[in-house]
Copies of this chain bind each other. A is one copy, B any other.
Amino acid sequence: MGNAVSIKDIARKFKCAPSTISRALNDHPMINIDTRKTIQEYANKVGYQKNTISLSLLNKRSKTLGVIIPSISHYHETAIIEGLEAILQPAGYLLNICVTNECHALEKEYLNRLVANRVDAICISLSQETFDRSLNEHIDLAISRSLPIIFMDRFYHALDVDRVITDDFKGAFMATEHLIQMGCQRIAHLHGPRGITVSQQRFKGYEACLKKYGREVEEELVKQVKFSPECGLEATMHLLDQKAKPDGIFAVNDEVGFGAMKVIQERNYKIPEDIALVGFDDIPLAAFAPIALSSVSRQSKKIGEQSAQLFLSKMNGISDHQQVTLEPELIVRSSSQRNHFSKI
Protein backbone atom coordinates (compact mmCIF):
# COMPACT_ATOMS: atom_id res chain seq x y z
CA MET A 1 0.00 0.00 0.00
CA GLY A 2 1.04 3.55 0.68
CA ASN A 3 3.74 2.51 3.14
CA ALA A 4 5.56 0.29 0.67
CA VAL A 5 9.34 0.65 0.87
CA SER A 6 10.90 2.35 -2.14
CA ILE A 7 14.36 2.68 -3.60
CA LYS A 8 14.54 6.14 -2.11
CA ASP A 9 13.88 4.75 1.33
CA ILE A 10 16.72 2.30 0.95
CA ALA A 11 18.99 5.03 -0.40
CA ARG A 12 18.30 7.10 2.69
CA LYS A 13 19.18 4.13 4.88
CA PHE A 14 22.52 3.63 3.14
CA LYS A 15 23.14 7.36 2.69
CA CYS A 16 23.70 6.92 -1.02
CA ALA A 17 21.97 7.83 -4.26
CA PRO A 18 18.85 6.06 -5.49
CA SER A 19 20.69 5.26 -8.69
CA THR A 20 23.14 3.17 -6.75
CA ILE A 21 20.35 1.20 -5.13
CA SER A 22 18.64 0.71 -8.46
CA ARG A 23 21.81 -0.59 -10.03
CA ALA A 24 22.61 -2.77 -7.06
CA LEU A 25 19.18 -4.39 -7.14
CA ASN A 26 19.51 -5.00 -10.85
CA ASP A 27 22.92 -6.58 -10.32
CA HIS A 28 24.67 -3.96 -12.37
CA PRO A 29 28.42 -4.81 -12.54
CA MET A 30 29.25 -1.14 -12.09
CA ILE A 31 28.40 -1.48 -8.42
CA ASN A 32 30.85 -3.11 -6.03
CA ILE A 33 29.98 -6.72 -5.50
CA ASP A 34 29.89 -6.42 -1.70
CA THR A 35 27.78 -3.28 -1.79
CA ARG A 36 25.43 -5.09 -4.11
CA LYS A 37 25.02 -8.05 -1.78
CA THR A 38 24.50 -5.85 1.25
CA ILE A 39 21.85 -3.79 -0.47
CA GLN A 40 20.10 -6.82 -1.91
CA GLU A 41 19.97 -8.49 1.44
CA TYR A 42 18.58 -5.41 3.08
CA ALA A 43 16.00 -4.95 0.32
CA ASN A 44 14.96 -8.53 0.74
CA LYS A 45 14.72 -8.15 4.47
CA VAL A 46 12.45 -5.13 4.39
CA GLY A 47 10.38 -6.70 1.61
CA TYR A 48 11.18 -4.28 -1.13
CA GLN A 49 9.00 -4.84 -4.18
CA LYS A 50 9.67 -3.04 -7.43
CA ASN A 51 6.99 -0.54 -8.33
CA THR A 52 5.93 -1.53 -11.81
CA ILE A 53 3.85 1.60 -12.21
CA SER A 54 6.82 3.89 -12.31
CA LEU A 55 8.45 1.53 -14.77
CA SER A 56 5.40 1.61 -16.98
CA LEU A 57 5.53 5.36 -16.96
CA LEU A 58 9.18 5.34 -17.85
CA ASN A 59 9.15 2.62 -20.46
CA LYS A 60 5.78 3.47 -21.95
CA ARG A 61 4.69 -0.11 -21.69
CA SER A 62 2.72 -1.72 -18.93
CA LYS A 63 3.28 -5.42 -19.49
CA THR A 64 -0.47 -5.77 -19.46
CA LEU A 65 -2.83 -6.98 -22.14
CA GLY A 66 -6.38 -5.69 -22.28
CA VAL A 67 -9.00 -8.33 -23.04
CA ILE A 68 -12.52 -7.31 -24.03
CA ILE A 69 -15.09 -10.05 -24.44
CA PRO A 70 -18.86 -9.92 -24.78
CA SER A 71 -19.51 -12.61 -22.22
CA ILE A 72 -17.66 -14.94 -19.93
CA SER A 73 -20.30 -17.54 -19.20
CA HIS A 74 -19.48 -20.04 -21.93
CA TYR A 75 -16.76 -22.59 -22.32
CA HIS A 76 -15.48 -20.91 -25.45
CA GLU A 77 -14.60 -17.66 -23.71
CA THR A 78 -13.03 -19.22 -20.65
CA ALA A 79 -10.97 -21.50 -22.86
CA ILE A 80 -9.73 -18.45 -24.77
CA ILE A 81 -8.67 -16.89 -21.49
CA GLU A 82 -6.88 -20.09 -20.54
CA GLY A 83 -5.04 -19.99 -23.84
CA LEU A 84 -4.04 -16.37 -23.38
CA GLU A 85 -2.75 -17.02 -19.87
CA ALA A 86 -0.87 -20.13 -20.90
CA ILE A 87 1.30 -18.06 -23.21
CA LEU A 88 1.37 -14.69 -21.50
CA GLN A 89 2.01 -15.73 -17.91
CA PRO A 90 5.50 -17.10 -18.71
CA ALA A 91 6.14 -13.93 -20.70
CA GLY A 92 5.50 -11.81 -17.62
CA TYR A 93 2.22 -10.25 -18.67
CA LEU A 94 -0.98 -9.62 -16.77
CA LEU A 95 -4.49 -9.63 -18.21
CA ASN A 96 -7.05 -6.89 -17.76
CA ILE A 97 -10.29 -8.69 -18.51
CA CYS A 98 -13.42 -6.73 -19.36
CA VAL A 99 -16.84 -8.24 -20.04
CA THR A 100 -19.17 -6.09 -22.11
CA ASN A 101 -22.38 -8.16 -21.93
CA GLU A 102 -22.73 -7.52 -25.66
CA CYS A 103 -23.25 -3.85 -24.90
CA HIS A 104 -21.62 -1.27 -27.12
CA ALA A 105 -21.57 1.55 -24.59
CA LEU A 106 -19.78 -0.66 -22.09
CA GLU A 107 -17.31 -1.80 -24.71
CA LYS A 108 -16.50 1.79 -25.54
CA GLU A 109 -16.14 2.69 -21.88
CA TYR A 110 -13.84 -0.28 -21.22
CA LEU A 111 -11.77 0.47 -24.28
CA ASN A 112 -11.22 4.01 -23.07
CA ARG A 113 -10.27 2.81 -19.64
CA LEU A 114 -7.78 0.33 -21.04
CA VAL A 115 -6.26 3.00 -23.25
CA ALA A 116 -6.02 5.33 -20.26
CA ASN A 117 -4.28 2.51 -18.42
CA ARG A 118 -1.86 2.22 -21.33
CA VAL A 119 -2.22 -1.50 -21.89
CA ASP A 120 0.28 -2.74 -24.44
CA ALA A 121 -2.41 -4.11 -26.71
CA ILE A 122 -6.03 -5.20 -26.72
CA CYS A 123 -7.51 -8.54 -27.66
CA ILE A 124 -11.14 -7.97 -28.42
CA SER A 125 -14.18 -9.89 -29.44
CA LEU A 126 -16.69 -7.26 -30.53
CA SER A 127 -20.03 -6.92 -28.81
CA GLN A 128 -23.15 -7.78 -30.73
CA GLU A 129 -24.30 -4.17 -30.70
CA THR A 130 -21.01 -2.93 -32.08
CA PHE A 131 -21.13 -5.51 -34.79
CA ASP A 132 -24.79 -5.08 -35.67
CA ARG A 133 -24.63 -1.37 -36.11
CA SER A 134 -21.02 -1.12 -37.26
CA LEU A 135 -20.25 1.30 -34.45
CA ASN A 136 -16.54 1.33 -35.06
CA GLU A 137 -15.42 4.84 -34.17
CA HIS A 138 -13.92 3.78 -30.86
CA ILE A 139 -11.97 1.03 -32.56
CA ASP A 140 -10.85 3.36 -35.34
CA LEU A 141 -9.68 5.86 -32.78
CA ALA A 142 -7.66 3.29 -30.89
CA ILE A 143 -6.10 1.99 -34.10
CA SER A 144 -5.28 5.51 -35.25
CA ARG A 145 -3.33 5.95 -32.04
CA SER A 146 -1.40 2.88 -33.13
CA LEU A 147 -2.57 0.74 -30.24
CA PRO A 148 -2.26 -2.86 -31.41
CA ILE A 149 -5.68 -4.47 -31.55
CA ILE A 150 -6.16 -8.16 -32.11
CA PHE A 151 -9.61 -9.37 -33.03
CA MET A 152 -10.89 -12.70 -31.87
CA ASP A 153 -13.96 -14.37 -33.40
CA ARG A 154 -15.92 -11.29 -34.27
CA PHE A 155 -13.72 -9.02 -36.21
CA TYR A 156 -13.66 -5.64 -37.68
CA HIS A 157 -14.40 -5.38 -41.37
CA ALA A 158 -11.14 -3.96 -42.53
CA LEU A 159 -8.36 -5.66 -44.40
CA ASP A 160 -5.43 -4.50 -42.39
CA VAL A 161 -6.21 -5.82 -38.94
CA ASP A 162 -4.83 -8.66 -36.87
CA ARG A 163 -7.26 -11.39 -36.16
CA VAL A 164 -7.55 -14.95 -34.98
CA ILE A 165 -10.73 -16.76 -35.87
CA THR A 166 -12.06 -20.24 -36.37
CA ASP A 167 -13.38 -21.21 -39.75
CA ASP A 168 -16.98 -21.35 -38.62
CA PHE A 169 -18.19 -21.63 -42.16
CA LYS A 170 -16.21 -24.79 -42.64
CA GLY A 171 -17.26 -26.18 -39.28
CA ALA A 172 -20.90 -25.65 -40.10
CA PHE A 173 -20.39 -27.16 -43.51
CA MET A 174 -18.84 -30.23 -41.94
CA ALA A 175 -21.65 -30.59 -39.43
CA THR A 176 -24.31 -30.30 -42.12
CA GLU A 177 -22.53 -32.64 -44.49
CA HIS A 178 -22.24 -35.16 -41.69
CA LEU A 179 -26.00 -35.01 -41.11
CA ILE A 180 -26.58 -35.49 -44.83
CA GLN A 181 -24.28 -38.49 -44.84
CA MET A 182 -26.23 -39.88 -41.92
CA GLY A 183 -29.24 -39.84 -44.20
CA CYS A 184 -31.04 -36.76 -42.95
CA GLN A 185 -33.45 -35.33 -45.52
CA ARG A 186 -34.79 -32.29 -43.73
CA ILE A 187 -32.04 -30.61 -41.79
CA ALA A 188 -33.05 -27.73 -39.57
CA HIS A 189 -30.72 -25.06 -38.26
CA LEU A 190 -30.99 -23.29 -34.95
CA HIS A 191 -29.54 -19.97 -36.05
CA GLY A 192 -27.65 -17.79 -33.58
CA PRO A 193 -28.40 -14.12 -32.98
CA ARG A 194 -28.22 -12.07 -36.17
CA GLY A 195 -25.38 -9.63 -36.61
CA ILE A 196 -22.93 -11.90 -34.90
CA THR A 197 -20.23 -13.25 -37.14
CA VAL A 198 -20.32 -16.78 -35.86
CA SER A 199 -24.08 -16.98 -36.37
CA GLN A 200 -23.79 -15.73 -39.91
CA GLN A 201 -20.83 -17.89 -40.80
CA ARG A 202 -22.45 -21.01 -39.42
CA PHE A 203 -25.62 -20.32 -41.30
CA LYS A 204 -23.66 -19.75 -44.49
CA GLY A 205 -21.81 -23.02 -44.03
CA TYR A 206 -25.12 -24.79 -43.52
CA GLU A 207 -26.58 -23.08 -46.58
CA ALA A 208 -23.56 -23.80 -48.78
CA CYS A 209 -23.56 -27.45 -47.83
CA LEU A 210 -27.23 -27.86 -48.61
CA LYS A 211 -26.62 -26.22 -51.97
CA LYS A 212 -23.75 -28.56 -52.69
CA TYR A 213 -26.12 -31.48 -52.29
CA GLY A 214 -28.78 -29.84 -54.42
CA ARG A 215 -30.99 -28.74 -51.57
CA GLU A 216 -32.50 -25.41 -50.66
CA VAL A 217 -32.68 -23.68 -47.32
CA GLU A 218 -36.26 -23.99 -46.16
CA GLU A 219 -37.24 -20.97 -44.19
CA GLU A 220 -39.44 -22.87 -41.77
CA LEU A 221 -36.47 -25.06 -40.84
CA VAL A 222 -34.36 -22.14 -39.71
CA LYS A 223 -35.14 -20.71 -36.27
CA GLN A 224 -33.30 -17.92 -34.61
CA VAL A 225 -32.21 -18.39 -31.01
CA LYS A 226 -30.01 -16.87 -28.37
CA PHE A 227 -27.09 -18.90 -27.05
CA SER A 228 -29.01 -20.62 -24.26
CA PRO A 229 -30.60 -24.03 -23.73
CA GLU A 230 -33.92 -22.35 -22.97
CA CYS A 231 -33.99 -20.76 -26.41
CA GLY A 232 -32.91 -23.98 -28.02
CA LEU A 233 -35.76 -25.78 -26.34
CA GLU A 234 -38.36 -23.23 -27.38
CA ALA A 235 -37.23 -23.02 -30.99
CA THR A 236 -37.11 -26.79 -31.33
CA MET A 237 -40.61 -26.99 -29.91
CA HIS A 238 -41.78 -24.81 -32.77
CA LEU A 239 -39.90 -26.98 -35.23
CA LEU A 240 -41.63 -30.07 -33.92
CA ASP A 241 -44.99 -28.37 -34.02
CA GLN A 242 -44.73 -27.90 -37.76
CA LYS A 243 -46.30 -30.40 -40.11
CA ALA A 244 -43.08 -31.19 -41.92
CA LYS A 245 -40.70 -32.03 -39.12
CA PRO A 246 -36.93 -32.10 -39.42
CA ASP A 247 -34.99 -35.36 -39.19
CA GLY A 248 -31.73 -33.59 -38.44
CA ILE A 249 -30.84 -30.46 -36.50
CA PHE A 250 -27.68 -28.43 -36.59
CA ALA A 251 -27.60 -26.21 -33.52
CA VAL A 252 -25.54 -23.05 -33.48
CA ASN A 253 -23.90 -24.18 -30.22
CA ASP A 254 -24.00 -26.92 -27.65
CA GLU A 255 -26.11 -25.10 -25.08
CA VAL A 256 -28.79 -24.67 -27.73
CA GLY A 257 -28.26 -28.32 -28.62
CA PHE A 258 -28.95 -29.34 -25.03
CA GLY A 259 -32.23 -27.44 -25.15
CA ALA A 260 -33.18 -29.06 -28.43
CA MET A 261 -32.37 -32.50 -27.10
CA LYS A 262 -34.55 -31.96 -24.06
CA VAL A 263 -37.71 -31.24 -26.01
CA ILE A 264 -37.01 -33.91 -28.64
CA GLN A 265 -36.86 -36.52 -25.90
CA GLU A 266 -39.91 -35.13 -24.16
CA ARG A 267 -41.82 -35.60 -27.40
CA ASN A 268 -40.55 -39.18 -27.51
CA TYR A 269 -38.60 -38.91 -30.71
CA LYS A 270 -35.52 -41.08 -30.91
CA ILE A 271 -32.07 -39.54 -31.23
CA PRO A 272 -30.40 -40.07 -33.64
CA GLU A 273 -32.84 -42.38 -35.45
CA ASP A 274 -35.75 -39.95 -35.79
CA ILE A 275 -33.77 -36.80 -35.41
CA ALA A 276 -29.99 -36.52 -35.55
CA LEU A 277 -28.44 -33.63 -33.69
CA VAL A 278 -25.13 -31.78 -33.93
CA GLY A 279 -23.97 -28.83 -31.86
CA PHE A 280 -21.00 -26.50 -31.92
CA ASP A 281 -18.15 -25.65 -29.51
CA ASP A 282 -17.64 -29.11 -28.05
CA ILE A 283 -18.14 -28.06 -24.45
CA PRO A 284 -16.86 -30.43 -21.78
CA LEU A 285 -20.38 -31.57 -20.94
CA ALA A 286 -21.25 -32.40 -24.56
CA ALA A 287 -20.35 -36.04 -24.08
CA PHE A 288 -22.60 -36.11 -21.01
CA ALA A 289 -25.75 -34.87 -22.64
CA PRO A 290 -28.78 -37.20 -22.45
CA ILE A 291 -27.50 -38.65 -25.69
CA ALA A 292 -23.82 -37.82 -26.11
CA LEU A 293 -23.88 -34.71 -28.26
CA SER A 294 -21.95 -34.55 -31.53
CA SER A 295 -20.27 -31.22 -31.88
CA VAL A 296 -17.80 -29.12 -33.83
CA SER A 297 -14.75 -28.13 -31.84
CA ARG A 298 -13.56 -24.65 -32.61
CA GLN A 299 -10.29 -24.97 -30.74
CA SER A 300 -11.18 -22.24 -28.30
CA LYS A 301 -8.03 -22.52 -26.25
CA LYS A 302 -5.93 -22.30 -29.38
CA ILE A 303 -7.61 -19.03 -30.28
CA GLY A 304 -6.29 -17.62 -27.03
CA GLU A 305 -2.86 -19.09 -27.58
CA GLN A 306 -2.56 -17.80 -31.12
CA SER A 307 -3.80 -14.37 -30.13
CA ALA A 308 -1.18 -14.28 -27.41
CA GLN A 309 1.52 -15.31 -29.86
CA LEU A 310 0.39 -12.68 -32.28
CA PHE A 311 0.51 -10.11 -29.50
CA LEU A 312 4.03 -11.13 -28.52
CA SER A 313 5.22 -10.93 -32.10
CA LYS A 314 3.83 -7.39 -32.28
CA MET A 315 5.64 -6.52 -29.07
CA ASN A 316 8.77 -7.69 -30.80
CA GLY A 317 8.25 -5.15 -33.50
CA ILE A 318 6.61 -7.25 -36.17
CA SER A 319 4.21 -4.78 -37.65
CA ASP A 320 2.57 -6.44 -40.61
CA HIS A 321 -0.92 -7.65 -39.94
CA GLN A 322 -1.61 -11.31 -39.45
CA GLN A 323 -4.82 -13.17 -39.96
CA VAL A 324 -4.96 -16.60 -38.43
CA THR A 325 -7.77 -18.98 -39.24
CA LEU A 326 -8.06 -22.18 -37.24
CA GLU A 327 -9.52 -25.40 -38.54
CA PRO A 328 -12.62 -26.76 -36.83
CA GLU A 329 -12.94 -30.42 -35.96
CA LEU A 330 -16.08 -32.51 -36.08
CA ILE A 331 -16.55 -34.77 -33.06
CA VAL A 332 -19.12 -37.43 -33.84
CA ARG A 333 -20.99 -38.86 -30.87
CA SER A 334 -24.22 -40.78 -30.35
CA SER A 335 -26.56 -37.90 -31.07
CA SER A 336 -25.80 -38.14 -34.77
CA GLN A 337 -24.09 -41.48 -35.32
CA ARG A 338 -26.51 -43.70 -37.22
CA ASN A 339 -25.26 -47.18 -37.80
CA HIS A 340 -27.50 -47.90 -40.76
CA PHE A 341 -27.79 -44.85 -42.89
CA SER A 342 -28.85 -44.21 -46.44
CA LYS A 343 -26.09 -43.25 -48.77
CA ILE A 344 -26.79 -40.09 -50.72
Write the residues of chain A forming the contact surface with B, with a CB cutoff of 8 angstroms: 1-4, 47, 49-54, 56-57, 60, 62, 64, 72-73, 75, 77-79, 81-82, 85, 89, 92, 94-99, 106, 109-110, 112-118, 141, 144-147, 228-229, 233, 255, 258-259, 261-262, 284-285, 287-290
A147 CB contacts on chain B under 8 angstroms:
1
What is the minimal beta-carbon distance from A59 to any residue of chain B, in angstroms? 10
Q: Is the CB of A262 within 8 A of B288?
A: yes
Q: Is the CB of B284 within 8 A of A285?
A: no
Query: Chain B CB within 10 Å — which of A77, A95, A114 has the most?
Result: A95
Nearest residue in B to A260 (C-beta to C-beta)? B288
Q: A89-B98, A95-B98, A258-B285 are in contact. List 9 more A-B contacts (CB 8 A).
A: A2-B60, A52-B113, A52-B118, A64-B96, A82-B99, A94-B96, A94-B114, A255-B284, A259-B288
How many angstroms from the CA of A94 to the CA of B79 in the assembled complex? 21
Q: Is the CB of B117 within 8 A of A89?
A: no
CB pairs A–B below 8 angstroms (18 shown): A2-B60, A4-B118, A52-B116, A53-B53, A53-B56, A53-B57, A53-B118, A72-B82, A73-B82, A77-B78, A81-B97, A94-B98, A94-B114, A94-B117, A96-B96, A96-B97, A229-B288, A261-B288
Q: Is the CB of B113 within 8 A of A94?
A: yes
User: Which of B49, B89, B289 is within 8 Å of A115, CB to CB?
Assistant: B49
What is the minimal beta-carbon distance from A87 to any residue of chain B, in angstroms? 13
A115 CB contacts on chain B under 8 angstroms:
49
Q: Is the CB of A229 within 8 A of B89?
A: no
What is the minimal beta-carbon distance from A50 to any residue of chain B, in angstroms? 5
What is the minimal beta-carbon distance from A337 to any residue of chain B, in angstroms? 16
A85 CB contacts on chain B under 8 angstroms:
98-99
What is the minimal beta-carbon distance from A108 to any residue of chain B, in angstroms? 12
CB-CB under 8 A for A145 and B47, given A57-B54, A94-B98, A229-B287 = yes
How many angstroms from the CA of A72 to the CA of B60 in the assembled complex? 31
A141 CB contacts on chain B under 8 angstroms:
47
A98 CB contacts on chain B under 8 angstroms:
85, 89, 94-95
Q: Is the CB of A116 within 8 A of B57?
A: no
CB-CB under 8 A for A284 and B228, given A94-B113, A96-B94, A98-B95 = yes
